Amino acid sequence: MVTFVATGHRLMRGCGDMRNSYVAALLLIPAVAFAQPSMQPPAPMAAPVGEPSGGAVYRNGMTFEANLGAGWIHASGGGLSDNSDAAIAGLSLGVGGWISPDVAITGRIAGLTLSQNGANLSHEFIGPSLQYWANDHVWFGGGIGLSLLALRGNNSGGQDSRTAFGMDLRAGYNFIATGENTVNLSIEVNPGFYSDQGTTITYTGIGFLLGYQHL
């Protein structure tokens, strides 16, 4: 009996030692795991401020536009109205800069020239213009400034010109956009409001343009 008790006591003590070793090992596992370096992938780097992400067109700094096409001039006033024959639209130019990635302000010269019977009738807009990009392909523009109507090479061989308040409205679609260079199609309408002997006569240039813009 004494031998059995002593043997049982040694076994219990041995089991206690094993249990203590097992508990110590369990306590070490979190500490070892905590000490291991993290295997999580690094967080993606954010795109630098002002640069495009996802292939967006980059718009920053200065911008330049050039447009050329065809259209006509519509005249109305005193209860009468008339449309000219086909006229050359442009060369229209704009130079300015971006005030945000979606908005640019430029100084713009745009208009149409009608040539007929050795005479040239030009209707032009000169002034500031704002351009807003709805997305990378569609944009809208508008401005107010000076409208110029000039007749050159008339029957007397001289030149006659008048100035008035004018507006410029346009919308375009970029069908080629590669980095800082775009090619677009647009429509541009620039009415000018002239006064003649107390009557307001409106000349409106309507042009369909092929254009290039450096962003």
Considering the domain architecture, whether residues 133 and 67 belong to the same structural domain is answered as yes
Note the pLDDT of residue 157: 61
Whole-number Cα distances in Å, 68 to 138, 185, 186? 19, 10, 10
Considering the domain architecture, whether residues 23 and 90 belong to the same structural domain is answered as no
Note the pLDDT of residue 152: 86
Considering the domain architecture, whether residues 66 and 104 belong to the same structural domain is answered as yes
Q: Is residue 57 part of a domain?
A: no
Tell me, yes or no, if the pTM score tops 0.85. no
Note the pLDDT of residue 158: 67
Three-state SS at 20: helix
Whole-number Cα distances in Å, 144 to 125, 137, 176? 8, 24, 29
Whole-number Cα distances in Å, 179 to 67, 108, 131? 19, 23, 18
The parent domain of residue 161 ranges over 62-214
Asked if the model's pLDDT at residue 15 lies above 70, the reply is no
Considering the domain architecture, whether residues 77 and 126 belong to the same structural domain is answered as yes
* CA 18/CA 95 separation, integer angstroms: 85
Note the pLDDT of residue 26: 44
Written as six digits, the tokens of 214 are: 């450096």
Q: Count how many domains the chain has.
A: 2
* Cα of 169 vs its chain's centroid, Å: 17
Instruction: Kindly report, residue by residue over 133-188, the tens digit of the pLDDT.
Output: 999 899 999 999 999 999 987 665 667 889 999 999 999 999 998 888 999 999 99
* CA 108/CA 205 separation, integer angstroms: 15
Note the pLDDT of residue 45: 58
Q: Is residue 126 part of a domain?
A: yes
Considering the domain architecture, whether residues 132 and 177 belong to the same structural domain is answered as yes
Q: Are 163 and 144 in contact (CB under 8 A)?
A: no
* CA 185/CA 168 separation, integer angstroms: 16
Q: Average pLDDT in the 41-52 region?
A: 52
**How buried is residue 79: exposed, middle or buried, by Cβ count under 10 Å (0-12/13-18/19+)?**
exposed
Task: Pick left, alpha or beta for residue 77 (phi over 0 → left; psi -120 to 50 → alpha; otherwise beta).
Answer: left
Q: What residue has token string 């100035």?
A: 163
Written as six digits, the tokens of 162 are: 């008048």
Note the pLDDT of residue 39: 54
Q: Is residue 132 part of a domain?
A: yes
- Reported as a pLDDT band with limits 50, 70 and 90, residue 79 is confident
Residue with the bigger pLDDT between 197 and 171: it is 171
Three-state SS at 55: coil
* CA 181/CA 141 separation, integer angstroms: 18
* Cα of 40 vs its chain's centroid, Å: 38
